[in-house]
Amino acid sequence: MSNHAAPGGRPGAVRAILQPPVHGATLPASIGRLSGQRNGVPEASVLDGLSRMPNRQAFFRDLSRGTAGRNTLVLVTLADARVFDGMRAALGHVLADNFVRAGAHRLARIVGTGTPIYHVSTLAFAFRLPGSCAPSAPPLIRRIVEGFREPLRLDGIPIETRLGIGLRVSGGPGASPAEDLRAALSAAQQSHAGKTGWAWYDLESDEAHRRTFQILTNLTAALEAESQLELHYQPKICLATRTCDSVEALVRWTHPVLGPVSPAEFVPLAEATVLVTPLTRWVIDAATRQIVEWRRKGLHMRVAINISPRNLEEPDFVEYLVFNCAARAIDHAALELEVTEGVSAGEGSLITDRVAALRALGFHIAIDDFGAGFSNMAYLTRLSANTLKIDRSLVSGLAAGAQNGRLVAGIVQMGHDLGYKIVAEGVETERELDLLADWGCDVGQGWHFGRPMSADRFFDWHRGAWDEQPPAAARG
């Protein structure tokens, strides 16, 4: 951008943004050769109204009429869509539009006048380079990365871009402009995971993106289907009495095409989107239904369910829990809500207050995964919880050396001093069980006692006179 000041001290670059040139004066000279031109000037139907660059329609039309042979399709994204939405909300539509214009003009200046650039979506621009130099990047790509290291300045405000550059060899047999563009976008998204700022299209990464998209789009249907989602229940064993009076409910998904989908895959995806709300409510509904069914058979069991911090931000979450329990005549103590330390965002936070309200209503609260990563000890005194669950990563190392043992024993003692019941996750061996019992740990959970199992199988397992020996399902 120019460093010369405009009248009033405003940078000349900003003036150019606020007064976009007529007929693409700062755009590539070759724009006049676009199909759909009239008297050397492109028709409005093939120009983006914001940047005045040829649009997505022009991109598909021109690529389908392009010359034969391989070339490199380059897709440049200016920012993450969610970040851009936040910018629009914080700074307004005018400044957000100016951000896109400024990015388009800077890109055009770096690329030069001999290469048409297409504005293919709000934050994405595409152009072609002859030939292919994969797996390295053309020198122009490196110049683009360097050229966007400086922030865009809008009305004197420096705005950082978060450039993503995807490259795709196009022009091969059976290739289509739409597929080439989609593949280049996948590569642009993948470029954020690297350090160079650009990435070539990679089939394996793209398939992972497609699987992620398929999981997210199909999860809504799974929530409405009768047979795809199911709760499995893992027993929690009192180490003093060797009895089981509580379980953790874990959701399982059998996809009609993909087969079993691990909760480690789809739950984090749901938690990153609005799908976490219907998923958690499905779990609550299924768990309370099962509590009623077991009680009808004479089995009284507290059921623990996992709650995301995002659930606790929902204004009607507490009311939903209370209503669901009331509708099924279940006492609140029959449910335990497992939350991670992420719920403690600070003293007096909304989420912390919601946790306190839930406990005051009689729901049991457990702090899950304690000791995973860097745990903040201070939140143990702030968060209103009944139970502290020691993460399996600490328990699995008990037999390996004394250091982990001292740490776990210290957590048990500290937790008891603070009034917590202590649960150890991931108990898999008799040695781990003996050590935990010696240190005064209250409850054990893990494959040594039983794997997660269907409701009917758990009922049969529990009725089968549980004793100190793990069931056959766990041993096998």
Three-state secondary-structure class, residue 383: coil
Instruction: Report whether pLDDT(285) > 70.
Output: yes
Query: CATH 3.30.70.270 occupies which residues in the chain?
Result: 7-201
Q: Which ranges constitute the DSSP H helices of 272-401?
A: 276-296, 309-313, 317-327, 350-360, 379-382, 392-395
- Predicted local confidence at residue 43, as pLDDT: 63
Confidence of residue 360 (pLDDT cuts 50, 70, 90): very high
Angle (deg, nearest 10), helices 139-147 and 93-111: 140
Tokens 């989602």, residue located: 229
Instruction: Report whether pLDDT(6) > 50.
Output: no
Confidence of residue 31 (pLDDT cuts 50, 70, 90): very low
Alpha-carbon distance of 90 to 67, in angstroms, equals 44
- Predicted local confidence at residue 44, as pLDDT: 60
Of the candidates 69, 55, 34, 61, which has an alpha carbon nearest to the alpha carbon of residue 170? Answer: 69
Structural contact between residues 11 and 153, judged by C-beta atoms closer than 8 angstroms: yes
b/e per residue, 305-342, with b = 16+ CB within 10 A? bbbbbbbbebeebbebbeebbeeeebebebbbbbbbbe
Instruction: Report whether pLDDT(204) > 80.
Output: no
Instruction: Report whether pLDDT(66) > 70.
Output: no
Structural contact between residues 220 and 240, judged by C-beta atoms closer than 8 angstroms: no
- Predicted local confidence at residue 212, as pLDDT: 85
Lowest mean pLDDT among 275-279, 354-358, 393-397: 393-397
* Tokens read off for 294: 């077991």
Structural contact between residues 334 and 304, judged by C-beta atoms closer than 8 angstroms: no
Q: Virtual CA dihedral for 176, 182, 186, 189, nearest 10 degrees? A: 140
In tens, the pLDDT along 227-255 reads 899 999 999 999 999 999 899 999 999 99
Which element (helix H / strand E) includes 369? strand 364-370
- Predicted local confidence at residue 254, as pLDDT: 96
- Predicted local confidence at residue 46, as pLDDT: 87
The residues pairing with 339 across neighbouring beta strands, listed in sequence order, are 367
- Predicted local confidence at residue 21, as pLDDT: 33
Three-state secondary-structure class, residue 169: strand
* Tokens read off for 386: 């009944």
Q: What percent of the chain has pLDDT over 90?
A: 57
Confidence of residue 86 (pLDDT cuts 50, 70, 90): confident
- For residues 332-358, give the mean pLDDT: 81
Structural contact between residues 217 and 104, judged by C-beta atoms closer than 8 angstroms: no
Q: Computed from CA positions of residues 83, 88, 90, 95, in that sequence, does the dihedral angle turn out positive or negative?
A: positive
Lowest mean pLDDT among 131-145, 326-340, 440-454: 131-145
Q: CA–CA distance from 205 to each of 168, 189, 210 (Å)?
A: 13, 10, 9
Confidence of residue 42 (pLDDT cuts 50, 70, 90): low
Instruction: Report whether pLDDT(33) > 90.
Output: no
* Tokens read off for 377: 């000890």
- Predicted local confidence at residue 232, as pLDDT: 98
- Predicted local confidence at residue 174, as pLDDT: 59
Select the more confidently predicted residue: 80 or 228.
228
Which element (helix H / strand E) includes 424? strand 421-424
- Predicted local confidence at residue 102, as pLDDT: 95
Query: CATH 3.20.20.450 occupies which residues in the chain?
Result: 211-475
* Tokens read off for 31: 């724009």
Alpha-carbon distance of 143 to 392, in angstroms, equals 48
7-201 in CATH: which number? 3.30.70.270
CA 202, distance to chain mean position in Å, is: 21
The residues pairing with 443 across neighbouring beta strands, listed in sequence order, are 238, 423
Q: Which ranges constitute the DSSP H helices of 65-92?
A: 81-91
Q: Which ranges constitute the DSSP H helices of 234-327?
A: 263-271, 276-296, 309-313, 317-327
User: Maximum distance among all alpha carbons in the chain?
Assistant: 90
- The C-alpha angle with vertex 113 and arms to 112 and 119, in degrees rounded to 5, equals 85
Lowest mean pLDDT among 32-36, 83-87, 219-223, 314-318: 32-36
The class (CATH top level) of 211-475 is alpha beta
Which element (helix H / strand E) includes 441? none
- Predicted local confidence at residue 2, as pLDDT: 39
CB atoms within 10 A of CB 6: 15
What is the average pLDDT value for the chain, to the nearest integer?
84
Please report, in angstroms and rounded to a whole number, the separation of the first and last CA atoms in the chain.
68
* Residue count of the chain: 476
Of the candidates 304, 289, 301, 325, which has an alpha carbon nearest to the alpha carbon of residue 249? Answer: 304
Of the candidates 438, 458, 335, which has an alpha carbon nearest to the alpha carbon of residue 387? Answer: 335
Lowest mean pLDDT among 26-40, 57-71, 132-146: 26-40
Alpha-carbon distance of 31 to 52, in angstroms, equals 10
